[in-house]
C-alpha cells in the first residue's frame, strides 16, 4: 500500500472543516426562498463565499422544497461547494413545520455529533393526513422525542404564530431563531442588516426576528402547553330567546358530570345549526339514552351519544354550507391568513357544486322524494348543476344570494334532506340501544357515527360505510366478541377512502356463517 492509498486513513482537509453547511425544508408559502436569500446575503456581507441551491418538492404538501447553503471564509482561493446536502453532513437544519423536521431526521440530515435543528412546532397538514377518512394526523410528540435524540441541539417553538403576532411571516422568525442559536459566526446586527437590505416588509420582519431571537436564546417550548379555559358562551338577542337558552344550559348541566362535559358543546353546536327548539330536541334524545344508562359504567354510553348525536343533528347541507361561507368570522379569518393590510383589496371566489341529491334535498319532503325517485329529473338536475358555479362573494349580488340560502334555517325542517337525516338518526339510536344489555356493543355502535361526516360525495361515502359496518355487526351480534368486531370494522372503514380494508373485514365476518 502507498501513502496515498484510499484505504489508509487520511488527515482531514482543513479547507473542508471551514465550510458551514445549512439546509432549509419549507413548503409553498413559507418563504423558504426569502430565508435562503437572507442567509446567503448575510454570509457574503461578512466576508464569506456562499452558494445557495434549491430542489423543489412535488407539490405544496406532498414534498417540501430543500434549500441548501454552503459558506466558507473567502480566503486563499475560491472554494468548491456541493449542490445538495448529504446524510450526516449538515451543520444547521431549519424545518419550517414539525413534520418536515421528522423528514429531515429520517433522511439522515440531523445527527447528534454536529447538527443544530431549528423547527417550528406548528402543523401544516400533509395531503396524506387530510385524505385519511379518520384521524390521519401524524404525532408531533413523536417527532419532538426523536429530535431530542437525533440533534446535537434542538430549538423548537411555534415560529409561525410568533411571526403572525408581529405582522410578518415565518421566514423572518426562523431567521431570528437562527441568529439566536449562535450556530453561525455572525453578530445579531449582521442578520438585521440582511433583512434591511432586502427593502421589503422590513419593520414587521425585524419585529418577528427579535421575538424569535429571544425565544431561541431562552426557549420556553419545553414547558407544558396550557390552554386557556374556554369562556362561557355569551349570547345576545330577545329576552324570550336568551331565557330559553339559559334554561337549556341548566338542563344540560343537570346531566351527570361525565355527560354534560360533552353535552354543553353539543348543545351549542345544534342551536347554532338551527334554533333553540332544535337544542331541546337534542337534550330530549340525550335524556332518552341516559334513561337506559347507569352510573356503574360511568355513563360511557350517554357520554358518547352526547358527541355523536350532536354531530348527526348538525349535518352539512346546502343551507349550512352557504351560512358558513357568509359568516363575518370566516371573512375575518381569511383576511388574517392573507395578511390583509389597510388599502388592500381582497377578491374571494367560492366554488359551489351541489349534486342532484343536494338540490332535491332542499325541496319539500314529499315532493323532493318524488324528484329523487325519478331518474329523469335527477339526470336533469345533474345536467343543470354539473359544472358548478364560481361566485365572487366580495361582490354584492353573489354575497346576497349565498346569504339568502344560508338564511333558510326556518325552511330546513320541511325539506327532504332533514326528513332523511332524522330517520337515519333515529334508526341508528334504536339499533344501538336495541342491543342492550350488551353495553360494550351499544357503545361501539354509537361510536360508529364518526364514519359520517362532510358534505356531498364525502357524506355519501361515509354513510355507505356506516350502514355496511352496522349491517356486518348485526351478523355477529350474538358472539361474545361482537363489540370488538364492531370496533375492528369501524377502524377498517377509516383506513382508506375506497373501503378496501372494510371489504376485507366484512369477508372475514361472512366466513363466520
pLDDT, position 231: 46
Please compute, for residue 152, the number of CA atoms within 13 A of its CA located in the half-sphere on the CB side: 14
Enumerate residues 6+ apart whose C-beta is below 8 A from 497: 131, 133, 461
Cα 324–Cα 325–Cα 331 angle in degrees, nearest 5: 105
Query: Residues 364, 415: contact at Cβ < 8 Å?
Result: yes
Q: Which three cell numbers stand for residue 444?
A: 361501539
Examine residue 285 and state whether it is found in any structural domain, yes or no: no
**Torsion of the alpha carbons at 379, 380, 383 and 388, rounded to the nearest 10:** -110
Beta bridge partners, 73, equal 48
pLDDT, position 228: 45
pLDDT, position 131: 64
Q: What's the distance, CA 502 to chain centroid?
A: 25
Tell me, what CATH number does 21's domain have? Answer: 3.40.920.10
Q: Which three cell numbers stand for residue 104?
A: 429531515
d(CA 159, CA 211): 9
d(CA 27, CA 65): 6
Examine residue 26 and state whether it is found in any structural domain, yes or no: yes
> Beta-strand (E) ranges in 153-201?
153-157
d(CA 384, CA 369): 19
Query: Residues 77, 66: contact at Cβ < 8 Å?
Result: no
d(CA 237, CA 98): 43
d(CA 63, CA 54): 13
pLDDT, position 392: 83
Residue-wise DSSP of 224-239: PP-PPPPPPPP--S-H
Share of the chain residues as helix, strand and coil, in percent rounded to the nearest 5? 55, 10, 35
pLDDT, position 10: 47
Residue-wise DSSP of 25-45: EE-TTS-HHHHHHHHHHHHHH
Examine residue 75 and state whether it is found in any structural domain, yes or no: yes
d(CA 445, CA 426): 13
d(CA 233, CA 254): 18
Examine residue 356 and state whether it is found in any structural domain, yes or no: no
Collapse the DSSP code of 75 into the 3-class scheme (helix H, G, I; strand E, B; otherwise coil) and give the result: coil
Q: Domain range for residue 493?
A: 432-513
DSSP code for 84: S
Please compute, for residue 219, the number of CA atoms within 13 A of its CA located in the half-sphere on the CB side: 20
Domain end (from 217, 233, 268)? 217
Phi, psi for 254 (deg, rounded to 5):
-75, -15
d(CA 58, CA 169): 23
Examine residue 165 and state whether it is found in any structural domain, yes or no: yes
Across the chain, which has 513 residues, the per-10-residue mean pLDDT values are 50 62 85 91 93 74 79 80 90 91 91 94 75 71 90 93 89 94 94 89 91 83 43 68 92 93 95 95 96 93 96 94 89 79 80 86 94 93 79 84 91 96 96 94 95 87 94 93 94 88 92 75
Examine residue 119 and state whether it is found in any structural domain, yes or no: yes
Domain end (from 217, 249, 270)? 217
Collapse the DSSP code of 252 into the 3-class scheme (helix H, G, I; strand E, B; otherwise coil) and give the result: helix
Domain end (from 184, 217, 250)? 217
Examine residue 59 and state whether it is found in any structural domain, yes or no: yes
d(CA 151, CA 373): 63
Examine residue 30 and state whether it is found in any structural domain, yes or no: yes
Helix axes 500-511, 457-475, angle to 10 degrees: 20
Please report, for residues 65, 118, 141, 192, 259, the alpha-carbon distance to residue 224 in angstroms, rounded to integers and kept in the order given.
Answer: 31, 19, 12, 31, 27
Sign of CA dihedral 171, 177, 179, 181: negative
d(CA 2, CA 276): 90
Domain count, the chain: 2
Please report, for residues 80, 392, 500, the alpha-carbon distance to residue 488 in angstroms, rounded to integers and kept in the order given.
Answer: 57, 45, 14
Q: Which three cell numbers stand for residue 334?
A: 381569511
Scanning the structure block, which residue is given the C-alpha cell 450556530? 183
d(CA 215, CA 231): 29
Of 425, 220, 179, which is closest to residue 312 (Cα–Cα)? 425
Amino acid at each position: 500500500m502507498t501513502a496515498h492509498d484510499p484505504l489508509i486513513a487520511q488527515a482531514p482537509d482543513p479547507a473542508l472543516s471551514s465550510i458551514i453547511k445549512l439546509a432549509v425544508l419549507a413548503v409553498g408559502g413559507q418563504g423558504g426562498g426569502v430565508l435562503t436569500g437572507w442567509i446567503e446575503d448575510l454570509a457574503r456581507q461578512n466576508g464569506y463565499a456562499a452558494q445557495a441551491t434549491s430542489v423543489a418538492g412535488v407539490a405544496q404538501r406532498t414534498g417540501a422544497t430543500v434549500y441548501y447553503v454552503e459558506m466558507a471564509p473567502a480566503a486563499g482561493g475560491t472554494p468548491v461547494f456541493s449542490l445538495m446536502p448529504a446524510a450526516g453532513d449538515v451543520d444547521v437544519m431549519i424545518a419550517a413545520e414539525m413534520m418536515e423536521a421528522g423528514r429531515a431526521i429520517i433522511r439522515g440530515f440531523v445527527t447528534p455529533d454536529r447538527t443544530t435543528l431549528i423547527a417550528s412546532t406548528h402543523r401544516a397538514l400533509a395531503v396524506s393526513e387530510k385524505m385519511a377518512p379518520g384521524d390521519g394526523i401524524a404525532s408531533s410528540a413523536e417527532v419532538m422525542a426523536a429530535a431530542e435524540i437525533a440533534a446535537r441541539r434542538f430549538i423548537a417553538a411555534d415560529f409561525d404564530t410568533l411571526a403572525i403576532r408581529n405582522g410578518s411571516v415565518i421566514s423572518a422568525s426562523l431567521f431570528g431563531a437562527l441568529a439566536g442559536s449562535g450556530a453561525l459566526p455572525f453578530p445579531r446586527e449582521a442578520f438585521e442588516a440582511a433583512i434591511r437590505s432586502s427593502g421589503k416588509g422590513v419593520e414587521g420582519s425585524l419585529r418577528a426576528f427579535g421575538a424569535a431571537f429571544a425565544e431561541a436564546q431562552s426557549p420556553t417550548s419545553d414547558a407544558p402547553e396550557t390552554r386557556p379555559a374556554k369562556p362561557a358562551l355569551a349570547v345576545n338577542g330577545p329576552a324570550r330567546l336568551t331565557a330559553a337558552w339559559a334554561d337549556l344550559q341548566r338542563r344540560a348541566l343537570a346531566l351527570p358530570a361525565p355527560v354534560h362535559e360533552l353535552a354543553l358543546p353539543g348543545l351549542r353546536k345544534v342551536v347554532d345549526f338551527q334554533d333553540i327548539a332544535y337544542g331541546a330536541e337534542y337534550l330530549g334524545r340525550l335524556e332518552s339514552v341516559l334513561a337506559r344508562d347507569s352510573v356503574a359504567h360511568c355513563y360511557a354510553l350517554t357520554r358518547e351519544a352526547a358527541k355523536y348525536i350532536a354531530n348527526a343533528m348538525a349535518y352539512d347541507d346546502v343551507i349550512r354550507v352557504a351560512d358558513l361561507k357568509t359568516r363575518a368570522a370566516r371573512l375575518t379569518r381569511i383576511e388574517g391568513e392573507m395578511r390583509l393590510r389597510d388599502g388592500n383589496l381582497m377578491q374571494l371566489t367560492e366554488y359551489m357544486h351541489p349534486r342532484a341529491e343536494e338540490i332535491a334535498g332542499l325541496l319539500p319532503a314529499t315532493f323532493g322524494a318524488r324528484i329523487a325517485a325519478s331518474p329523469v329529473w335527477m339526470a336533469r338536475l345533474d345536467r343543470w348543476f354539473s359544472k358548478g358555479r364560481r361566485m365572487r362573494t366580495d361582490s354584492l349580488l353573489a354575497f346576497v344570494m349565498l346569504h339568502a340560502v344560508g338564511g333558510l334555517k326556518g325552511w330546513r325542517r320541511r325539506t327532504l334532506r332533514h326528513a332523511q337525516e332524522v330517520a337515519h338518526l333515529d334508526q341508528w339510536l334504536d339499533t344501538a340501544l336495541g342491543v342492550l344489555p350488551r353495553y360494550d356493543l351499544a357503545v361501539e355502535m354509537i361510536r360508529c357515527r364518526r364514519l359520517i361526516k362532510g358534505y356531498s360525495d364525502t357524506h355519501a361515502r361515509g354513510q355507505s360505510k356506516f350502514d355496511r359496518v352496522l349491517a356486518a355487526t348485526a351478523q355477529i351480534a350474538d358472539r361474545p366478541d361482537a363489540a370488538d368486531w364492531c370496533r375492528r370494522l369501524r377502524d377498517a372503514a377509516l383506513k382508506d377512502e375506497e373501503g378496501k380494508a372494510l371489504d376485507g373485514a366484512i369477508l372475514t365476518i361472512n366466513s363466520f356463517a
